[in-house]
């Protein structure tokens, strides 16, 4: 025992106290280390955004990406009043071309949760979206990966390159205002993508198994004066594989044909009779049959063999 200022501690109590203190001091640090990293960007510094993102512009589907910098005079991404804003090369008659792309280039993701505030703008009726699982930074989702956006009428839509397909539209959000700011949360885990916008019901898409891959995440403005703010992305763990239920062994069939009875004697009798197998060789010599042989001399000699086989099994 240990005596200290009139208090008596047993060795067991001392060890228990030490273990409790150790757990209290080190357990939170271990739990914190086990968490997946979280990245946030509030779009207040061009230098910080250019350090972590790749900015690019594609003027037509299938064309090469032109690399840019955020804040570049002849570019397409600018920071204004703490928001990321798309400008330049916007034409409502140009269709779904003229895509400005901002790819988070510091990490690729298979499973993640991304949040961002967005505003569609009103110069055209094209889209303000996000893209994921892209093999290359700065690509349109028509050329690489999958894109998710909300159309001006409030239809959540997924569209993508080979392996994704589309467009896949879901139930329309009622009273959707394209000119208002909205909060978007996209969760991609395994073969499922789940979209939540404001307080609307969540929307889900099933992804092809072949599309389960690591890739970049991008903000994409399709020919529109889009705006973004408060970008946040968190890596998620691999989805758990569901455990298969235990399947009890199938009981042996209660018949005489059961596998367990093949080695046992049966009461049935099997009799196989085979006809005489007769074969004659022309030109003399000898003739033979299976199981017996006869030989004879002379040109007129003939060989005849007969075999009766009786098999009896009890």
- The tens digit of pLDDT for each residue in 166-212 reads 999 999 999 999 999 999 999 999 999 999 999 999 999 999 999 99
In whole angstroms, what is the distance from residue 141 CA to residue 158 CA?
A: 10
In whole angstroms, what is the distance from residue 46 CA to residue 246 CA?
A: 57
- The tens digit of pLDDT for each residue in 68-79 reads 999 999 999 999
pLDDT of 135 > 50? The answer is yes
Share of the chain above pLDDT 90, in %: 60
Residue 232 parent element (H or E): strand 227-235
Share of the chain above pLDDT 70, in %: 68
Cα–Cα distances (Å) from 132 to 30, 152, 209, 259, in that order, read 31, 21, 15, 55
All structural domains of the chain: 38-235 (2.60.120.560), 265-314 (no CATH)
Q: Lowest-pLDDT range, 10-24, 122-136, 180-194, 234-248?
A: 10-24
Residue 101 parent element (H or E): strand 99-109
How many Cβ atoms are within 10 Å of 77's Cβ, its own excluded?
Answer: 29
pTM summary value: 0.68
DSSP state of 290: T
Written as one string, the DSSP assignment of 58-81 is: ESSTTSPPEEE-TT-TTSSEEEET
Summary mean pLDDT of the chain = 79
In whole angstroms, what is the distance from residue 283 CA to residue 124 CA?
A: 103
Is residue 173 helix, strand or coil?
Answer: coil
Phi/psi of residue 260, each to 5°?
Answer: -70, -10
How many Cβ atoms are within 10 Å of 43's Cβ, its own excluded?
Answer: 24
Residue 189 parent element (H or E): strand 182-189
């Amino acid at each position: 025992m240990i005596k200290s200022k009139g208090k008596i501690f047993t060795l067991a109590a001392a060890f228990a106290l030490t273990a409790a203190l150790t757990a209290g001091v080190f357990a939170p640090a271990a739990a914190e280390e086990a968490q997946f990293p979280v990245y946030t960007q509030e779009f207040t510094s061009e230098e910080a955004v250019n350090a972590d993102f790749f900015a690019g512009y594609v003027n037509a589907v299938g064309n090469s990406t032109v690399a840019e910098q955020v804040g570049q005079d002849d570019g397409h991404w600018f920071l204004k009043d703490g928001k990321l804003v798309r400008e330049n090369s916007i034409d409502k008659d140009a269709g779904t071309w003229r895509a400005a792309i901002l790819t988070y280039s510091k990490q690729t993701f298979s499973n993640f949760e991304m949040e961002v505030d967005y505003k569609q703008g009103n110069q055209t009726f094209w889209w303000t979206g996000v893209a994921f699982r892209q093999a290359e930074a700065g690509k349109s989702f028509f050329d690489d990966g999958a894109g998710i956006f909300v159309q001006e009428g409030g239809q959540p839509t997924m569209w993508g390159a080979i392996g994704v397909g589309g467009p896949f539209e879901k139930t329309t959000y009622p009273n959707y205002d394209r000119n208002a700011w909205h909060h978007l949360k996209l969760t991609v885990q395994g073969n499922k993508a789940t979209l939540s916008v404001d307080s609307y019901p969540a929307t889900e898409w099933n992804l092809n198994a072949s599309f389960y891959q690591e890739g970049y995440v991008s903000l994409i403005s399709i020919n529109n004066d889009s705006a973004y703010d408060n970008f946040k992305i968190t890596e998620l763990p691999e989805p758990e594989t569901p455990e298969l239920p235990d399947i009890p062994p199938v009981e042996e069939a209660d018949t005489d044909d059961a596998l367990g009875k093949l080695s046992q004697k049966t009461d049935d009798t099997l009799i196989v009779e085979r006809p005489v197998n007769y074969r004659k060789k022309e030109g003399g010599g000898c003739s033979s049959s299976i199981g017996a042989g006869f030989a004879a001399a002379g040109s007129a000699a003939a060989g005849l063999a007969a075999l009766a086989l009786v098999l009896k099994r009890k």
